[in-house]
Structure 1
Amino acid sequence: MNAAIDIGNTKVKLGIFEDEKLVSFETFNSLEDLSIEIKKKDIAKIIVSSVRESNDFISEILRLDNEVVFLDFNTPLPFINHYQSPTLGLDRIAVVAGAQALFPHKNSLVIDMGTCITYEIIEGGKHYYGGAISPGMHMRFKSLHNFTARLPLVTVEHPIEQVGKTTEKSIQSGVVHGVIGEMEAFIQTYKEKYSPLNVIITGGDAKYFESKIKATIFAIPELVLVGLNAILRHNASI
């Protein structure tokens, strides 16, 4: 079995794979909790992606005897990366690899809905060119509150009224319908250039929006872990 570890800003995710199949998924609050759990499992190889901790620190805490790949900008990838900046986020690399693994030889658009909303385009299941980054839903709520004198900080509710009849409901309508409109516009624009196009939605806010998009989409919550496993398998084959 292989293990994919995604160390985010607040949570640590662990995916256990048998070949390409995700057989278990767990979330931890700390690396120490992860270390205790991972030592209980019969794991051959591990891949780690971290947005907040150094590889040396992770190695010191986990004390793993397994073969470990730490994802960075020099890690060989199963797709051709045409991105022109060396600052491409590891989470973006992982979701592209996940889409490539699940939809080989096909055009795909990945929409990752987290703190930011990222749009990643993969042509023919092989060529990654980049995409777009915009503020996520909760960032938009916070920005309206933080950068104005009187607008309150609100959160999402259901259902969202199209016409907000209070300031709070107007903010909710503007943010939620703004995100929906943005996503549908991106989908339509990319479909015009990369047709036919698979649309994949993932990330923390994906569940809220997946039923609100008119286009046919694939909701894949753990696409980052799937992508990390694909990168691990690719490195094992070269």
Structure 2
Amino acid sequence: MIALIDIGNSRTKYCVVSQGKRGSVQSFANELLSNEYLSQCFNRINKLIVASVSHNKLTDKIELWCHEQNIDYQQVVSEKSKNGVCSAYHQPSQLGVDRWLTLIAAKALYPSKNTLIVDAGTATTIDLIASNGAHQGGWILAGIETLFSCVQENTSQVKAKVVKTASLSFGLNSSENVNNATWAATVGAINLAVTQSEQQGVVIDEILLTGGNGGALASLLSHQCKVIEDLVFIGLQAYI
């Protein structure tokens, strides 16, 4: 069996692949990663395939543990091309590996469609891939929670509490003002990305949403879209 591991800025997600089929995705906070936890989760695994946008100390810890347990270790990094996908970056290694994997996944799922990918986590990333597999570039902006924290930390008079409901309505108090604005800013960026894509000569066929806030964003968008929670893992599976 092979474990696919996606290390994000704050959480690590993983799933096990057996006979070509992915199991359910599990997750834990990055600070919980330890040799004991690795042994508990991956004691029956033959190989670990890891992608990380976090600190090297986490991948170093996993690699050392694999070496001690005689388990194959592979870390995926962004490349110039793979499986018909070609990076738009002049220095491909600088494209976040999570974004790279969603491009590979989008190409695998929709090989002949122009696709806009929105990964809504700690940061919200937006990437465009044309039907021929050419990455057209993208944007990185602060995620929903990060936008909220930024306002809280950099203003002295705005006092707001987190509101769990995603809404684009004009707020009637400071908490609603700040919370709803984070969603509005993100939805506005996605809408503008659709327009920008058309100006670059690429008419969007599919919009894919993933990441922790993907589902909530889907409920706010006027454009038709699909939520694919395991998009990164579809990309990771291409490295088996």
C-alpha distance 166-189 of structure 1, shift in aligned 2 (>3 A)? same
Higher relative contact order (CA 8 A, sep 6+): 1
Q: Does 1:37 align with 2:45?
A: no
User: Which residue matches 1:198?
Assistant: 206
* Structure 1 residues without counterparts, runs of 5 or longer: 234-238
Q: Distance between the aligned counterparts of 1:2 and 1:188, measured in 2?
A: 41
Q: Do the aligned partners of 2:117 and 2:126 also contact (CA within 8 Å) in 1?
A: yes
Q: SS of the counterpart of 2:82? A: coil
Code of the residue aligned with 2:207 in structure 1: it is: V
Q: Deviations over 1:130-181 (max 9, x none)?
A: 2111111111111111111211243233263723222222222322222222
Q: SS of the counterpart of 2:156? A: coil
Q: Distance between the aligned counterparts of 1:64 and 1:188, measured in 2?
A: 51
Q: SS of the counterpart of 1:24? A: coil
C-alpha distance 102-200 of structure 1, shift in aligned 2 (>3 A)? same
Q: Does 1:119 align with 2:126?
A: yes
Cα distance, 1:114 vs structure 2: 0.9
Q: Do the aligned partners of 1:200 and 1:217 also contact (CA within 8 Å) in 2?
A: yes
Alignment of 1:132-147 (within 5 A): 132-147=139-154
User: Which residue matches 1:58?
Assistant: 62
Cα distance, 1:185 vs structure 2: 2.1
User: Which residue matches 1:148?
Assistant: 155
Q: Do the aligned partners of 1:112 and 1:202 also contact (CA within 8 Å) in 2?
A: yes
Cα distance, 1:18 vs structure 2: 4.4
User: Which residue matches 1:47?
Assistant: 49
Code of the residue aligned with 1:52 in structure 2: it is: H
Tell me the TM-score normalised to structure 2 length: 0.84
Code of the residue aligned with 1:48 in structure 2: it is: V
Q: Distance between the aligned counterparts of 1:53 and 1:220, measured in 2?
A: 27
Equivalent residue pairs, number: 230
Code of the residue aligned with 1:211 in structure 2: it is: S
How much identity, in percent, do the aligned residues show?
24
Q: Distance between the aligned counterparts of 1:74 and 1:179, measured in 2?
A: 28
Code of the residue aligned with 1:106 in structure 2: it is: K
Alignment of 1:1-238 (within 5 A): 1-18=1-18, 21-28=21-28, 29-32=32-35, 33-41=37-45, 43=46, 45-50=47-52, 51-54=54-57, 55-62=59-66, 63-73=68-78, 77-78=82-83, 79-85=85-91, 86-124=93-131, 126-158=133-165, 160=167, 162-191=169-198, 193-230=201-238, 232-233=239-240
Code of the residue aligned with 1:16 in structure 2: it is: V
Tell me the TM-score normalised to structure 1 length: 0.84
Q: SS of the counterpart of 2:223? A: coil
Q: Distance between the aligned counterparts of 1:12 and 1:221, measured in 2?
A: 14
